Amino acid sequence: MRRRLFICAFLIGGLHVPAVAAPAQPPAGQVKVDPAALQAADRMLTAMGYERMMKQTCDAMIAPMGAMFRKAIEAKTGEAADDALIKQLTDIESEFLRGTLTNSPALRRAVATLYASEFSAAELNHLAELYADPVMHKWTEVAPDMTAKMLPLIHGVTDAHRSELEQKLAAAISSYYTAKQGPKS
């Protein structure tokens, strides 16, 4: 039982699963977006196939989950992970991601607001026209999977240099506190 609790705590706190923040209102004092730009952003999201892209993004995020769960469990326990457990954990993660990211009007509005804060209504209307191009349509089809395939490459490169980064961070912290203490009398 103790081992199961350890595994559960490890999985909840230790896996590097992308965090999904609740869509938030803009901070007080932030410039309001142009309502016309917000409407254009919504049209652009429709043109880009936003719902399909969100589903594909979820699928791409879920695809490596089983292997990640298996690796994490086996690394922490030293034992082979049970296939049924891996499937159950992956199904839970899948349900969570799909329920959180797809068919969420609040998330769609937050994304539209992000676009509307960076682009004018005319620019967003032009983007919507560009998304009608077959090459852009293909890009929206393959981008989520390509991004998912790039993440392990990025993690591999950063992990290969992790100890170097940790040494630099430790040195900076040590130097900071040494300087803050000042010369010893």
Residue 159's pLDDT is 83
**Segment 127-181, tens digit of pLDDT:** 999 998 999 889 888 887 888 788 888 888 888 888 898 899 999 999 999 998 8
Distances (CA, A) of 50 to 54, 57, 172: 6, 10, 43
Cα separation of 182 and 185, whole Å? Answer: 9
pTM across the whole model: 0.60
Q: What is the rounded average pLDDT of the residues 33-52?
A: 93
Four-CA torsion 18, 156, 154, 109, nearest 10 degrees: -10
Which has the closest alpha carbon to 17: 51, 84, 76, 67? 67
The pLDDT score that the predictor gives to residue 182 is 75
CA angle 101, 105, 110 (to 5 degrees): 80
For the chain, how many structural domains are there in total?
Answer: 1
21 within a domain of the structure (yes/no): no
Domain span at 169:
33-181
d(CA 166, CA 182): 24
Lowest mean pLDDT among 11-20, 43-52, 152-161: 11-20
72, containing H or E segment: helix 65-77
In a domain, 3, yes or no: no
Tell me the average pLDDT across 84-92.
Answer: 93
Residue 67 lies in a domain: yes
Other Cβ atoms closer than 10 A to 155:
12
Angle at 147 between CA 125 and CA 110, to 5 degrees: 45
Identify whether the C-beta of residue 77 lies closer than 8 Å to the C-beta of residue 3: yes
Note whether residue 24 is domain-resident: no
Domain-located, residue 151: yes
101-127 pLDDT, tens per residue? 888 899 999 999 999 999 999 999 999
Give yes or no for residue 5 having a pLDDT over 70: no
Q: What is the pLDDT of residue 184?
A: 67
Q: How far apart are CA 78 and CA 158, in angstroms?
A: 25
- For residue 80, pLDDT over 50 is answered with yes
Residue burial 43-57, b: 16+ Cβ < 10 Å; e: rest = bbbebbbbeebbbbb
The mean pLDDT value for 93-106 works out to: 89
* Overall average pLDDT of the 11-27 stretch: 45
Residues 6+ positions from 141 with CB-CB distance below 8 Å: 56
pLDDT of 17 strictly over 80 = no
Q: Do the domain assignments include residue 99? A: yes
Residue 1 lies in a domain: no
Cβ-based neighbours of 43, under 8 Å, separated by 6 or more: 124, 125, 128
149 is a domain residue: yes
